[in-house]
């Protein structure tokens, strides 16, 4: 059950996060208002040097009626270094195919470090039937490897709302100003693996600062979201508690040209599900899923 939620959580993280590179504050930012433009159309051939780290923790406690609780915990970290190239985009400018020239791609669990894709290989990422798809040498990667990559890779679903639709605003904002997230779009974005109503989503975005880096201005925007009464659509089950929290912080280019330089964020899902086992007996499952990610992306000149 928890595995089915991983891709959905990773998708939300990838969709909402933005750049978080450090830079010097703009001294006149407080007196200026800015257009909040977060989505920048991708172009075929754009290349980025990518360094990504993501930690996924899944905790599940199953308690049968009248029985003892059994707890299972899985936690691992994924580390990736390589060059991403936009191979295909849709009419809106969202990437639909990305290739990654791998320099490093490891999975770390405890003291065990495993190379999941060898250096020198090329990962091709696409999207099909609601899931990210990864291939190397025209062969689909095994489910555990794809699951690990979902922690750090962006979601390429063309039907998902973009960042402007999720946490943007049409009104110009000054440093320190706040605005509400788009609950309707967030409910749609979560609907792949979870069910939640827009009325149960609350969140605030804030223009924290404007920074100068490389001769450009970058908008430092933070967002915090809480979604309550989440239902996990598992057959013959009821979700009695479901809460998802998300915190993001990052930099977007003030001129809305190009992508940000990195991604950071934290998402946590807590839920209690009452279901039936194979024999029809009631089982209570307590779920705690969390992910923390940081991705730095530096655009490469052609």
Distance CA(51)–CA(79), nearest Å, equals 8
The predicted-structure confidence for 87-142, as pLDDT tens digits, reads as follows 999 998 999 999 999 999 999 999 999 999 999 999 999 999 889 999 999 999 99
The predicted-structure confidence for 203-224, as pLDDT tens digits, reads as follows 999 999 998 887 888 899 999 9
Show Cβ contacts of residue 95 under 8 Å, excluding neighbours closer than 6 positions.
Answer: 42, 86, 87, 88, 89, 154, 156
> Whose CA is closest to 11, among 298, 297, 293, 299?
293
- pLDDT of 296 reads 86
Q: What is the DSSP string of 88-136?
A: EE-TTS-EEEEEEEEEEEEEEETTEEEESS-TT-EEEEEEETTEEEEEE
Distance CA(244)–CA(253), nearest Å, equals 28
Q: Comparing 19-23, 133-137, 295-299, which segment has the lowest mean pLDDT?
A: 19-23
- pLDDT of 66 reads 84
Percentage of residues in the chain having pLDDT higher than 70: 87
> Tokens 């407080």 appear where?
30
Whether the per-residue pLDDT at 5 is higher than 80: the answer is no
In this structure, what token pair is assigned to residue 104? 């490093």
- pLDDT of 30 reads 58
Q: Comparing 28-37, 77-86, 158-167, 195-204, which segment has the lowest mean pLDDT?
A: 28-37
Q: What is the DSSP string of 207-263?
A: EEEEEEETTEEEEEEEEEEEE-S-B---TTEEEEEEEEEEEEEEEEETT--S--SEE
| Mean pLDDT value of segment 8-15 | 49
Q: Provide the 3-class DSSP secondary structure of residue 174.
A: strand
Average pLDDT, the chain: 87
| Mean pLDDT value of segment 233-260 | 85
Domain enclosing residue 182, as ranges: 3-300
- pLDDT of 20 reads 33
Q: Which pLDDT band holds residue 297 (cuts at 50, 70, 90)?
A: confident
Domain count for the chain, please give it: 1
Distance CA(232)–CA(236), nearest Å, equals 11
The predicted-structure confidence for 41-52, as pLDDT tens digits, reads as follows 889 999 999 999
């Amino acid at each position: 059950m928890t595995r089915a939620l991983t891709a959905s959580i990773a998708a939300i993280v990838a969709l909402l996060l933005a750049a978080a590179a450090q830079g010097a504050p703009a001294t006149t930012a407080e007196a200026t208002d800015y257009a909040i433009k977060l989505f920048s159309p991708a172009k075929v051939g754009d290349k980025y040097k990518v360094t990504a780290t993501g930690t996924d923790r899944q905790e599940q406690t199953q308690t049968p009626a009248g029985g003892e609780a059994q707890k299972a915990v899985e936690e691992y970290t994924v580390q990736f270094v390589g060059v991403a190239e936009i191979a295909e985009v849709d009419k809106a400018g969202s990437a639909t195919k990305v290739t990654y020239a791998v320099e490093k791609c490891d999975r770390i669990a405890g003291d065990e470090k495993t190379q999941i894709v060898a250096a020198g290989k090329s990962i091709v990422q696409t999207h099909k039937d609601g899931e990210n798809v990864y291939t190397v040498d025209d062969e689909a990667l095994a489910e555990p490897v794809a699951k690990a990559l979902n922690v750090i890779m962006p979601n390429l679903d063309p039907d998902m709302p973009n960042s402007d639709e999720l946490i943007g605003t049409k009104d110009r904002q000054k440093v320190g100003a706040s605005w509400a997230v788009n609950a309707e779009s967030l409910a749609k974005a979560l609907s792949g693996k979870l069910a939640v109503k827009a009325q149960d989503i609350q969140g605030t975005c804030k223009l924290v600062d404007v920074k100068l880096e490389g001769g450009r201005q970058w908008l430092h925007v933070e967002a915090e979201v809480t979604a309550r009464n989440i239902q996990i659509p598992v057959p013959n089950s009821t979700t009695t508690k479901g809460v998802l929290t998300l915190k993001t912080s990052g930099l977007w280019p003030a001129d809305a040209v190009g992508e940000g330089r990195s991604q950071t964020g934290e998402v946590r899902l807590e839920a209690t599900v009452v279901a039936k086992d194979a024999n029809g007996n009631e089982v209570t499952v307590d779920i705690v899923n969390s992910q923390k990610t940081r991705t730095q992306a530096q655009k490469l000149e052609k």
